[in-house]
C-alpha cells in the first residue's frame, strides 16, 4: 500500500509541475506604427524567449492572408500597412495564438495602448 501511495504522490507531483510549465510560457506580441506607413510587430514568449521562424500573418477580416510572414532572427516582422481592415495573427501552435486588431496599433510612444496583451486560447480553455 505504501508503494501505491508513493507512486500516486509522485505522479500527482509530476502532472502538477507540467501544468505549471504549460501555463508559464504563453505567446505575447506587440505592434507599433512606424513613421513611413509601415508596421513593426514583435512576438515571443511570456518568459522573455524569442520566437524566430514562428508564423505571424497579416489577415483581412474576410480571411485573405495579406502578408504571409515569419518572425526574423530578432522575432520581428515589418510590413506596409494594408489599405483594408486587418489583424495580425501570431500562431505558435494549435490553440496558442495572439491576435492584434489594426485599430490597436498606435505610433511609437502612443498612449495608452501601443501594445496589446496576449490572447492565448489554450490558457482561456484551461481557466
> ∠28-32-36 over CA atoms, to 5°?
150
Provide the pLDDT for residue 35. Answer: 86
- The three grid cell numbers given for residue 3, joined into one nine-digit string: 508503494
The pLDDT assigned to 93 comes to 86
pLDDT for res 108:
57
How high is the pLDDT of residue 95? 85
Whether residue 28 contacts residue 120, with contact meaning beta carbons closer than 8 Å, is answered with: no
Q: What kind of fold does domain 26-126 have according to CATH?
A: Immunoglobulin-like (2.60.40)
pTM of the model: 0.67
User: What pLDDT score was predicted for residue 20?
Assistant: 40
Q: Could you please report the per-residue DSSP string of 6-32?
A: HHHHHHHHHHHHHHHHHHHS-EEEEEE
- The mean pLDDT values, 10 residues at a time, for the chain of 127 residues are 48 44 74 94 95 97 96 97 96 91 79 39 27
Amino acid at each position: 500500500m505504501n508503494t501505491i501511495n508513493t507512486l500516486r504522490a509522485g505522479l500527482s507531483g509530476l502532472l502538477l509541475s507540467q501544468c505549471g510549465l504549460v501555463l508559464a510560457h504563453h505567446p505575447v506580441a506587440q505592434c507599433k506604427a512606424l513613421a513611413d506607413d509601415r508596421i513593426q510587430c514583435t512576438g515571443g514568449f511570456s518568459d522573455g524567449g524569442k520566437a524566430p521562424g514562428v508564423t505571424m500573418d497579416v489577415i483581412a477580416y474576410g480571411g485573405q492572408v495579406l502578408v504571409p510572414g515569419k518572425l526574423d532572427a530578432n522575432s520581428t516582422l515589418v510590413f506596409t500597412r494594408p489599405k483594408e481592415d486587418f489583424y495580425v495573427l501570431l500562431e505558435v501552435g494549435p490553440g496558442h495564438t495572439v491576435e492584434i486588431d489594426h485599430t490597436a496599433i498606435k505610433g511609437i510612444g502612443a498612449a495608452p495602448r501601443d501594445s496589446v496583451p496576449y490572447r492565448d486560447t489554450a490558457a482561456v480553455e484551461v481557466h
